[in-house]
Amino acid sequence: AVSRGYVMRSGAHYAEFNIFSGGPYIGIVRPMPSLDATYDYQFYFIGSSFYSRFLAQRSDNWGNGNVHACEYWSYDGTLNWTDWGEEDQRFANWEGMESCSTGDTIGMLLNLDEGTLAV
């Protein structure tokens, strides 16, 4: 699911994702409305060589938070996040983590008022 035309600024937002095959990464990224999205089909916001391009999209709407992209890997339940600069957290374990497989549904709740992403 891609929400290119709708920028979430506050409140809680929920989405469900059905796993059809494999172990997809599912997550959220800061709004970057003028980023040219003509990249390969395997594009990553975390562990990418495009960090400087992403940071060039910074706006006042980003606020003061340091997490610019966060994702859940359904294969093993780990999480990844980055500040697109000095810190990347890759394949981290977290309390309550679970993997999922083909046929499962993952729900994600993004609460922008609290600064949380629940899986």
State the pLDDT at residue 83. 92
State the pLDDT at residue 79. 92
State the pLDDT at residue 82. 92
DSSP code per residue over 21-44: SS--EEEEE---TT------SS--
State the pLDDT at residue 37. 62
State the pLDDT at residue 71. 92
Per-residue pLDDT of the chain (119 residues; tens, 9 = 90+): 556 667 788 899 999 999 998 889 998 888 887 776 665 566 778 887 888 888 998 888 888 888 899 999 999 999 999 999 888 888 899 898 999 999 999 999 999 888 888 98
State the pLDDT at residue 43. 73
